[in-house]
Amino acid sequence: MLRKKEENGRILRESLPTGATEEAERRLDRRRFLALAAAGLLGLEQTGWGWSGTDAFSTGRFVRLIPFEDEGTAPVGTPIGSELDGRLYTDLTKILAGRMVTPTADFYIRTLASKLLPGAGQWQVAVDGLVATPSHLGMKALRAMAKPMGMHLMECAGNVRLTRFGLMSVANWAGVPVMDLVEQARPAAGGTWVEVSGFDEYAGESRTSMPGASWIFPADALKAAGAFLAMEMNGAPLTADHGAPVRLVVPGWYGCACIKWVNRLTVVDDSAETTTQMQEYAARTLQTGIPQMARDFDAATIDHAAMPVRVEQWSVGGKTRYRVTGIAWGGQEPVTRLRIRFNPEEEFVDVSGFRQQKTDVWTLWTHAWSPTSAGTYNIQLAVAEPAVRARKMDAGYYVRTVSIKV
């Protein structure tokens, strides 16, 4: 039953195509990009990569964005649907040197707040299970412990081409390390796993998802990742749709593990079975089958990945030039080389000037591109280090397609 639902829903689950036509999107492109430029968001001041002073494009004129093809018609930048079927696909074309953090109103949403969500006033997080001193933490106590947690990227494991890969964003967070709260309760011997649960009941029935949100982590993995209960996002209190009053963020892990509306931390041992949320996301976090035991579930971490976010047409010295701007993210350690190719029959070449410093925010890169003939191009990225895991990227998951006329 679960397996069947998983297979049928794999692609459609995260996508709710409605509304805006491709054509309308296309017409908006240039206007939108120019508006960003006018607002000073293009990062002309940037050095190192992108718009540096020596860049051939700095003397050119931006003409238009080449639209990506076959990416569905779901609207971007606006919430659609409700509750478990509610989504906000972020507009990745807006990532710029001067806009590396996603404004909260544009941060992707997978599951809009439940109509049944209790008010924050009485909210408590229970710390229980295999602990010496179980407790209930109120929001006042939690807020008193909050500190800056820095910028971290979140990506839904079901972030697909059909919805323009709009289920990923970066925010600047504040909160409390989750293991500080667990350790305060003094876990018993053998209590080396933590189940994080969130409110997940909805007024309406979902077409695509199963209610019930909890994830079981090895305690040492939460510690190593620097996982925290977030109460603030981009300098303001968390919004309801992003999990207010308190949500989990596990840097480097897929969003499905980042439980929203957290109300319980339960210390368990290695006999714990996987939760329905873990089962629902087993395929998309690249597990082998659907593990029954939490201890057999691999860490839902994001491998190295990269993709284009804009293909820009420019006029430089009277000649048509193209430039691909993209992002790289994921993986455990930064890589030193990123490679790009424009169709399977071409060779991968280095993205020049690529430099990655952190893996759980996105890194911007640009690549001057001179297509030799009109046609359709599938753009794929790769890392050069063979020892580095990049499973989704290597499988072609993040390939994007453009057609060049000249």
Ligand X SMILES: Nc1nc2c(c(=O)[nH]1)N[C@H]1C(S)=C(S)[C@@H](COP(=O)(O)O)O[C@H]1N2
Question: Is position 198 an interface residue for ligand X (rule: CB under 6 A)?
Answer: yes
The residue (of 129 and 198) whose beta carbon lies closer to Mo ion is 198
Size of the site for Mo ion (CB under 5 A): 4
Q: Is the peptide bond before 245 cis (omega within 30 degrees of 0)?
A: yes
Q: Which one of Mo ion, ligand X, none is in contact with 264 (Cβ closer than 5 to 8 A by kind)?
A: none
Give the strand pairing for 193-198 and 213-218. Answer: antiparallel
Question: How far is residue 184's CA from residue 177's CA, in Å, rounded to a whole number?
Answer: 11
The residue (of 171 and 383) whose beta carbon lies closer to Mo ion is 171
DSSP bridge partners of 383:
338
Other CB atoms within a 10 A radius of the CB of residue 334 amount to: 13
* N residues, the chain: 406
Question: How far is residue 291's CA from residue 281's CA, in Å, rounded to a whole number?
Answer: 11
Burial class for 397, CB neighbours closer than 10 Å (0-12, 13-18, 19+): middle
Question: Is position 255 an interface residue for ligand X (rule: CB under 6 A)?
Answer: yes
Identify which range of 93-101, 102-110, 131-139, 220-228 contacts ligand X by CB under 6 A.
102-110
Selected binder of ligand X within 109, 160, 174, 265 (CB under 6 A): 109
Question: Is position 110 an interface residue for ligand X (rule: CB under 6 A)?
Answer: yes
Sheet strands side by side (includes 305-316)? 61-65, 305-316, 319-329, 363-369
The residue (of 173 and 377) whose beta carbon lies closer to ligand X is 173
The residue (of 25 and 303) whose beta carbon lies closer to Mo ion is 303
CA nearest 354: which of 342, 366, 341? 366
The residue (of 110 and 247) whose beta carbon lies closer to Mo ion is 110
Q: Which one of ligand X, Mo ion, none is in contact with 202 (Cβ closer than 5 to 8 A by kind)?
A: none
Question: Is position 225 an interface residue for Mo ion (rule: CB under 5 A)?
Answer: no
- Min. distance of Cβ 364 from Mo ion in angstroms? 24
Question: Tokens standing for 269?
Answer: 């041992």
Place of tokens 């430099």: 355
Where on the chain is the footprint of Mo ion (CB under 5 A)? Answer: 110, 156, 255-256
Which residues of this protein are in contact with ligand X, per CB under 6 A?
108-111, 154, 156, 198, 200, 213, 242-243, 255-256, 258-261
